[in-house]
Chains A and B, each alone.
Chain A
Amino acid sequence: MEFSSRARQRHTRLAGDRRDPYPHSLQFYQEPPTESISLAEFESFAVDRLRLLKVVENLGVSHVRSSDSYKTKLEAEFRRLKFPYRALAEDDYDARRKDHISHFILRLAYCQSEELRRWFLQQEMDLFRYRFNELTEGLRQKFLEHVNLQFEAISEDLKNELANELFTSTPGFTMTKVKEQMFYKVGLSDAVDLFRARRVFIKDGFAFVPLKDIDAIVLNNYRQKLSKALAVSLILQVLLHCLMMILSSSHLDLKHINLFLSNSIKTNSCFIIKNYFFLIPHNHSLEILTFSWVFIIIFYRTGMFKVTALFQACIIFFCFMM
C-alpha cells in the first residue's frame, strides 16, 4: 500500500503536477519544513547531519579547503550519509528533503549558546561553500535566480564600454575572458573583500564582479541570513517551550495559541510543536503556573521583550525546581 502511494507521488512529481519543493540541490533554508515526520526519522536525520558537520570540521582542519583530497573525502561522506550530491532533481528528492529537515533540527539544537551558534555557523558555511563550488556554472546561475539575489548582470553594451577597465582590474582575466564571462553589478557592502584588495572594478558605489567571484558574495549573504535565523530560533525556542508547558498542562487548543502569534512565527512554531511535543514530558504540577504563561504571550505580542525574558527565566527556573 505504502509503496504504491510513494511511487504514485513520485510519478506526479515527474509529470509536474505538484510544484517541486526542492528545485535545487542547494538552498538557503529560509522556509522551515511543514510536514510531520516520525520520531525515528527525526533522530536519524539529526544524527546523520551532525556526523556530516563533524566530518566537515575535521577535514577543514586537516586539509586545505579547495584541495582535491578534501573534495574526494567530503564527496564520499555525502554519498555514505545520503545527502544531496550531484544528482538530478527526480532522483534526489529524498536526499534534499533530508538535508532540509536535518538543517532545521540542528538549528534548534545549536542556537542555544554563543559557542554552539558559532560552531554551527562555521560548519554550515564550509558545507555551503563546498556545495556551491561543486555546482556547474549553469546550475549556479539558476540557483542565484531562484534565491533572488539582486545581482543584475550588466548589459553587453556596458561591458564593452568598460572592457578595458574590467580587464585591468580583475586579476586572472584576459580580454577574451572578459568578453565571454558574465559580470554582475553588486553593491559595495556585498563585495567588501573584493574591493578592499582592489581585485574588482568599482564605479559610482557599485562593484562589477565576474561570475567566478560571486561565490564569496553569496557566502556572505548566506552567513548573514543564517546568523539572523539562529538568533530568532533561540527566542522562538524559549517561547515555544513555554507554550508547550501550557498545552500540556492546561489543555488549551493549539488554535487559540496560534491566534496570539504572528504569521511568520506560526510557520516556524508548527514544525517545532509537532516534533517537540514528543520530547517534553507532561508535568501536571505546572498547572499552577499556567496563568503566567498567558502573560508571557501577551508581553511578547506587545513587544516587551525584556519583561518576557525575565518571566521566562523565572518560569524555567521553577520548571527545573519542580
Chain B
Amino acid sequence: MNPYKIDIGAVYSHRPSQHNTVHLGAFQPVEKELVFDIDMTDYDDVRTCCSSAEICSKCWTLMTIAVRIIDRALVEDLGMKHRLWVYSGRRGVHCWVCDDAVRKWSPALRAAAVEYLTLVKGGAETVKKVNLSEPVHPFIRRSVNVVEKYFEEYALVGQDILGSPERWDKVLALVPEEHREQLQGDFPKKRDSVQRWELLKGRMERTRRAASTGKGAACYADWEIMLQYCFPRLDINVSKGVGHLLKSPFSVHPKTGRISVPLDLQRLDQFDPFAVPTISSLCRELDAAGDDGEQEDSGETEPKRRVRDYKRTSLAPYVRVFEQFLEEMERARRGERLQRSDLQGDF
C-alpha cells in the first residue's frame, strides 16, 4: 500500500505509534516548523474574477503580494532566516519556517506572530475590515509600500474595482462620510479606475499633509482600501496549533493532480500556477525520458537511473530550489556546530 498524500506535523517526545504506552502528559510535541497557509477563498469578498476554489492569472497576483509582504516581515521584523514557500497545488501557498529557535516556539508565541501579521479583521458582516489610526506602525507602512507596486495593475486594471457605480460604491463604503459625497459626485466625470483612484488618493494625501502642519485629522482611507483589497489573510489555526498537520512539499494535490512545488522567490512575479507539472504530465515525461535513456546507460542499475530521471522532467528547477534551501540550512547548522565546539574546546 502506497501513501497518496503525506502530511507533516510535529516531532514528538516518543514515537507516535507508541503514544498509548506512555502516560498522558509525557507524550508531548517537542518541536515543529512555524507554518502559514494563505488560501484564495479567504479573499472572495474582494475578488471579482473568480470565487471559492477557482483561480486565474488575474487573481494570482494576490498570492504574489501576500508572499512578498509576509516574507519581508518574517526576515526583517521577526528575524527568521530559513523559509520555504510552497504552492499548495490548487488555490494558495504555504510557508514553512525552519529556524531552530522558531521550531521550539510555544503556541502562544506562534499566535502572537500571526496576530502581528494580521490587518484584515472581521467576517462577512463587517464592511470595513481595516482600520488605521495614527501613529501608523512601520510594519503597516512597509506593507503598503509593497501593495502600491502591484495595486494599479492588479486592482485598477485587472479587477477594475472602480469601473462601475456598483463597484465604486463598495469601495466608497470604506471611506469616511466627510469625503464620500464629494467623491461620489466626482467619480462619474472620470474615464476609468486609474483616474478615479488618483482622485481618491490625492484627496487623502492632502488631509495627511494638512494634519502634519496641525490642521485637521489625517485620513488613511486610501491605505485602508489597498490593504482590504490586497493584504494577506492568514489562517491562525494552522499556525498556532503545534499538533496541526500540513501537506508536505512535493506531494500531489488530490483534486487537481498538481505537485506542491517550492516557489523561487527570485522569480516570484513570473510564477504561473497553471504551468506547474501535474502527476500525469510527470509520468509522461518520465516515460519519454526512460525511452531515450535506455540507449545511453544500459549498464546502470534500476534505482540509480530512476533517481536521475527527475532531472529530465519539468520538476528539476523546483527540486533545485528545494536543494538550495536545504544547503542554506546545512551551512548555518555547520557554522553553529563549529561555534559550539569552539566554545567547548572540543576538537
Contacts and interface: CB of A to CB of B under 8 A. Distances in A.
B195 to A, nearest CB: 31
Given A165-B138, A189-B105, A198-B139, A204 B115 contact: no
Interface stretch (B77-85, B157-165, B183-191, B254-262): B77-85
B55 to A, nearest CB: 31
B108 A192 contact: yes
Contact of B138 (A196, A201, A206): A201
Interface string A145-166: 0000000000000000000010
Given A195-B116, A197-B115, A198-B116, A204 B138 contact: no
A195 B135 contact: no
Interface in B92-126: 105-106, 108-109, 111-113, 115-116
Given A195-B112, A196-B115, A171 B135 contact: yes
A198 B115 CA distance: 9
Contact of A188 (B78, B138, B140): B78
B80 A169 contact: no
Contacts of B116: 195-196, 198, 202
B137 A168 contact: yes
A210 to B, nearest CB: 14
B136 interface: yes
Interface in A179-196: 188-189, 192-193, 195-196
Given A195-B116, A198-B116, A203 B135 contact: no
Nearest to A205: B79
B76 interface: yes
Contacts of B308: none
Given A168-B136, A169-B138, A196-B115, A202 B77 contact: yes
B137 A206 contact: no
B141 interface: yes
A271 interface: no
Using C-beta atoms within 8 Å of the partner chain, give the interface range for chain A. 10 to 19
A197 B109 CA distance: 12
Contacts of B77: 202-204
A78 interface: no
A224 to B, nearest CB: 12
Contacts, number: 48
Given A188-B109, A195-B116, A197-B115, A206 B135 contact: no
A320 B76 CA distance: 62
Nearest to A198: B137
Contacts of B112: 192-193, 195-196
Contacts of A143: none
A42 interface: no
Contacts of A165: 138
Interface string A204-243: 1110000000000000000000000000000000000000
Contacts of B141: 168
A167 interface: yes
A204 B74 CA distance: 9
Contact of A206 (B79, B106, B109, B140): B79
A197 B135 CA distance: 13
Contacts of A169: 135, 137-138
Nearest to A197: B115
Interface string A7-26: 00000000000000000000
Nearest to B133: A171
Nearest to A196: B112
A306 to B, nearest CB: 9
Given A192-B112, A202-B116, 15 more contacts: A168-B135, A168-B141, A189-B106, A193-B112, A195-B112, A196-B111, A197-B115, A198-B137, A198-B139, A201-B138, A202-B78, A203-B76, A203-B77, A205-B79, A205-B80
5 contacts: A188-B109, A198-B116, A203-B76, A204-B77, A206-B79
